[in-house]
Chains A and B, each alone.
Chain A
């Protein structure tokens, strides 16, 4: 049961072979047993979860259940959930019990009837690529507990990889769903910007942040995405679009699929064995009926620099709300109001968050706004235009998700720039606002490798189809780490 797909769990629940209470208890027991090693969850509340599970069982008995009612999942701790600690991996919010639900949480609980098992660890305010910036300590990769799970959705990734949960939510500002999915052998999807509501998702960089599913397969992601999307008037950038069924096109054949391979992503800068696994996956796609075409993203080398202006600028603005007045941490001792702000923020934020606030404050300050912030936004358009041009020649773009497999804990923690370069293949997708996925495509030295799929705007259905067909032909996504049974 712990390795079952969401569809299998759904059928088992509907046929009353298992109750939601039993299923939730099974995973809660695994969390209790394995979380001390992995540190994937920061908050678990068995009673709360079981109340939801009993409600789900009642809905199933009454015949009012949806397809995922009663299925337990893990929630990234960036999503505010009423009555739950919602910490965003920060000391600043370590005592914050949310008085309201994020839209994603509300939809999953009230509409879909999913059961939250708890809140997963993450890089502080989602700023990191290794989960090492969390106030609650590093998460360990189930494939090798001396290595990072990736970040910032590292807790969600480790939880699903070790089957502490059948699936999880994540958020992706520069790669935070796709990179940990790659490093933990999961399938993760970052939707088109504006498809999933950001209301109640604690803001990092608002023009880039997007929530999405992390699971064992494309099919599971599709089913989970169905519960997350939709227009939300509480999110000013939420898009009004007709509802789609993301499981609709999963089985469509791939004949005639045109895969774009950006030459800039197949040059230097990637581990050779990772690249070999990615190329083998592309060869498999050719067997499935796809053809490859070289495309160019000539400004892609500027995506990391532009991102590290835009994201910190938005973060410095967003995180100004943490001032020790309305919620969260307040320094125990202080003098005047200014001193209260200064000490609260000095003590409440970790080093990486402070760095990004400072970068942001600087690039937005008088005399530097044009040269940095506006220049970054202009480059952002060049990067987006590159994709528009590339998609004239292909249906989906493929590349490695991450230039390496999971690195060792502490290996890059001392050098922010080295850490930032872990996201060289993922960041451009956020800047352009496109949907992107990572799917398992092999192993190097026992560690998972991810293949990144990038689609055109609103092409989630196509991406899921492309991912699913590959997963019908291969079994990489079914491999599980040893030592977690």
Chain B
């Protein structure tokens, strides 16, 4: 079962993969109304591994700031003592038997890969 670092007392489900971010939980800060700078847009795009041109960054900045204006309405709400809700039924993660359940379908799965060799996925050289 997964626990979200100290934020709540009770176990609850968190979205797929989002637990990577549990380490990012920090004390609540008060934030100024959101307005992203061009540099921030470029930094987020880099974090998300999406190449972005200066022109695209500018258009994106306008769109994102419009969206954040919408999102800002949330900040006016006092949610002290409200437990975050990650899942509709608040059920905890199911565990299964630690047993092999999948057959070997490597060839079928690799048939759709951009580049493979001898059963391995090929990517640009990572280690010099």
> What is the interface of chain A, defined by CB distance below 8 A to chain B?
95-100, 192-194, 203, 205-207, 233, 236-237, 239, 299, 301-302, 304-306, 308-309, 313-314, 316-318, 320, 323-330, 334-343, 345-346, 349, 354-355, 357-359, 361-382, 384, 415-417, 420, 432-434, 457
Complex contact B123–A325 (CB within 8 A): yes
Within 8 Å CB of B60, what residues of A? Answer: 354-355, 358
Q: What is the minimal beta-carbon distance from A80 to any residue of chain B, in angstroms?
A: 11
Identify which of A99, A327, A359 contacts B67 (C-beta below 8 A).
A359
Number of residues of chain B lying within 8 A (CB) of chain A: 68
Complex contact B21–A370 (CB within 8 A): no
Complex contact A354–B50 (CB within 8 A): yes
- Smallest Cβ-Cβ distance to B12: which chain A residue: A377
Complex contact B111–A355 (CB within 8 A): no
In the complex, besides A302-B77, A384-B85, 16 extra interface pairs with C-beta distance below 8 angstroms are A194-B89, A207-B87, A233-B96, A305-B73, A313-B15, A314-B16, A326-B121, A328-B114, A336-B126, A343-B51, A346-B52, A361-B44, A361-B47, A374-B84, A378-B84, A433-B87
Q: Once bound together, how far apart are the Cα atoms of A309 and B17, in whole Å?
A: 16
Q: Once bound together, how far apart are the Cα atoms of A389 and B125, in whole Å?
A: 58
Among B58-97, those with CB < 8 Å from A are: 60, 63-64, 66-75, 77, 79, 82-89, 91, 93-94, 96
> What is the interface of chain B, defined by CB distance below 8 A to chain A?
7, 13, 15-18, 20-21, 24-31, 36, 40-41, 44-52, 60, 63-64, 66-75, 77, 79, 82-89, 91, 93-94, 96, 105, 108-109, 111-115, 121, 123-126
Identify which of A100, A309, A330 contacts B114 (C-beta below 8 A).
A330
Complex contact B29–A379 (CB within 8 A): no
Complex contact B73–A206 (CB within 8 A): no
Within 8 Å CB of B88, what residues of A? Answer: 192-194, 207, 384, 432-434, 457
Q: Once bound together, how far apart are the Cα atoms of A199 and B26, in whole Å?
A: 33
Complex contact A377–B47 (CB within 8 A): no
Q: Once bound together, how far apart are the Cα atoms of A308 and B68, in whole Å?
A: 9
Given contacts A309-B74, A326-B113, contact A334 B82 (CB under 8 A): no
Complex contact B74–A381 (CB within 8 A): no
11 contacts between A and B (CB under 8 A): A97-B112, A308-B71, A320-B17, A327-B113, A339-B51, A345-B50, A361-B44, A361-B47, A381-B85, A415-B66, A432-B88
